[in-house]
Amino acid sequence: MKKFSPVLFLFLFLKGITQPNNINISNTNFFGGEPYLAINPTNPKNIIIAWMAIDLTTAFKVTIRTKTSFDGGQTWGNIHNKPHLYSTWGSADPSIQFRNNGTAYLCYIDYRENPDSGKVLITKSLDGGITWSAPTQAWDANTEDPSKVPLDRPWLKADNSNALSQGMFYMTTKPAPWIPAPNRAYLKWSSDSGTTWSTYKYVDTTSYLIGNAIQQPMTAIAVAANGALCLAYPSYVPAQSVFPKYFFAKSMNKGGTFTLNDLLVNPSPVSNQNYKLGYTLAAHPTNANQLAFCFISNQNGDPDVYITTSNNGGTTWSTPVRANDDITGNGKGQDLAWISYSTNNKLLAVWRDKRNGTGTGYYEPSDVYCAVSADNGATFQPNIKLSNVSANHDTILTGNGNDFLSCELLNDTVYAAWGDVRTGKLNIFFTKTSINTGTGIEPKLINSDSEALLGVFPGPASDKIQLQFHDKCPESLWLFVYNQAGKKVLEKSIVKTEKQYIDVSALPVGIYLLRAENKGKTVHLEKIIITR
């Protein structure tokens, strides 16, 4: 869950760039972030992707959208918007789980900040994502530890094993990102496919506490092939250890009790917090002994993707192995990592990669790469580039809303979805690529924006901005400018002329949203930056 401001998700249009190899699947609105991809186990050609999107029909609130494919990603169906509980609420953080019977379950947040309110919702689809049920409630922040608003990152996992625990659902959450430390992580479970849920319990416990220093203690979650519930979470408690750690927690009785041990001790921190440092835990679908944990480490002087694995169900963990194969210590960072196992004993890692930039640091262009291991993370095959365009950096990438991508490995084929800004806006792309040949379906644009009707110059601006009218722009417009709090700070009626200037000298330095309206309909949105 993020502190959403519409301005942070709306971008300058990048003029003159076309993507002949990319297919525009739909025309949505102005922002797409944090996709979650899932493949139907009963029909591998059925893929569902969920993501966060700005919705113009709900006063720029973020909504959760899904699209589905029934031909392995060649073509995609219509967008399905998930409803808000109240008109003033927005949504975030989707995750999808398929049951072995082909039923898809989508988990997401619907919430409001100030006053803090929110719920975690579950909806299901019996037809591969074409239609969805009315959402049911899994968590109510107004009644369950309300001072902590424990709704953030509600990861949903289903037990698809053949064990007695088969059919269980598990969910981990953490407090909202604006809640100051100390914070703890939470766990719930459901024995009826998400219809009803247990009361929450804390993930950490005596001698394995998260501590008072970690503000956002996200818990990564997986379910092993024998039905074991597996969790990984961060800790820094000097009385427990002089080093920060990640703990591994495992339950064989549906979350009733856990055995705990060290997963990772004293990982090298990444000082530049613009990098997206999320970590993931994966369980082999048929081998209960094999687990993998992926994280971002700075041990070579810049952020790299590292993976540590277990071959004994999480009791011990290997020395972490670097998955990206660019030159070590070259200042080219990697982040936004995700991992997944295939049923043919291979481990996939996918991440965002800065190696192709001309300089160093976070603000370089980025691509998406992957690596595959056939020996449970001991070694990785040469990296494969999944994106076909290097996306230039945009200021949106320093904010929330693009903290994760998603992937699955089906036999020897990578399915991945991510957000990048190659179009000038953060959009969702999908690719299907063979790990043997490195070829396959070109990246497909899952969501995109309509054609720009206005050009706004310069960027950033100082005292005035100039408007350039494109051919399809209406003859008259109302312009509105909003600050980051969503307050309207400027309103002006304009007509289409060769040159039109807007005086912004009275506005303080900052980031704003410019909205153009014609006959009551929004026809253009753009971020503007004022500096002096």
Q: Nearest-CA neighbor of 50 among 31, 60, 37, 62?
A: 37
**Tens-digit pLDDT profile for residues 80-118:** 899 999 988 999 999 999 999 999 999 999 999 888 899
pLDDT of residue 451 exceeding 70, the answer is: no
pLDDT confidence of 518, banded at 50, 70, 90? confident
**Tens-digit pLDDT profile for residues 197-234:** 999 999 999 999 999 999 999 999 999 999 999 999 99
pLDDT of residue 485 exceeding 80, the answer is: no
More confident residue, 185 or 73: 185
Q: What is the CATH number of the domain that holds 459?
A: 2.60.40.1930
**DSSP code of residue 318:** P
**DSSP code of residue 188:** E
pLDDT of residue 19 exceeding 90, the answer is: no
pLDDT at 30: 65
pLDDT at 12: 25
Label residue 529 exposed, middle or buried (CB < 10 Å: 0-12, 13-18, 19+).
Answer: middle
pLDDT of residue 452 exceeding 90, the answer is: no
* Structural domain includes residue 98: yes
**Total domains, the chain:** 2
- Asked which of 138, 157, 190 is the last residue of a domain, the reply is 138
Average pLDDT over residues 483-491: 77
Cis ω on the peptide bond leading into residue 303 (within 30° of 0)? no
* Structural domain includes residue 443: no
Cis ω on the peptide bond leading into residue 474 (within 30° of 0)? no
Average predicted confidence (pLDDT) for the chain? 88
pLDDT at 251: 98
* Structural domain includes residue 487: yes
Domain that holds residue 112: 31-49+61-138
Query: CA-CA-CA-CA torsion for 305, 338, 421, 400, nearest 10 degrees?
Result: -90
- Alpha-carbon distance of 255 to 229, in angstroms, equals 7
* Structural domain includes residue 112: yes
**DSSP code of residue 4:** -
- Asked which of 86, 120, 138 is the last residue of a domain, the reply is 138
* Structural domain includes residue 275: no
Complete edge-to-edge strand list for the sheet that includes strand 413-420: 406-410, 413-420, 427-434, 440-445
- Asked which of 120, 138, 156 is the last residue of a domain, the reply is 138
Helix (H, G, I), strand (E, B) or coil at 397: helix
pLDDT of residue 434 exceeding 70, the answer is: yes
172 is written with which tokens?
Answer: 């981990």
97 is written with which tokens?
Answer: 């789980």
- Alpha-carbon distance of 136 to 124, in angstroms, equals 9
- Predicted TM-score (pTM) of the model is 0.82
- Alpha-carbon distance of 297 to 30, in angstroms, equals 32
* Structural domain includes residue 410: no
* Structural domain includes residue 292: no
Q: Are 3 and 424 in contact (CB under 8 A)?
A: no
Task: Give the list of residues 6+ apart from residue 361 with CB closer than 8 angstroms, or none.
Answer: 272, 331, 333, 354
* Structural domain includes residue 379: no
Average pLDDT over residues 173-184: 95
Q: Nearest-CA neighbor of 353 among 338, 337, 334, 336?
A: 334
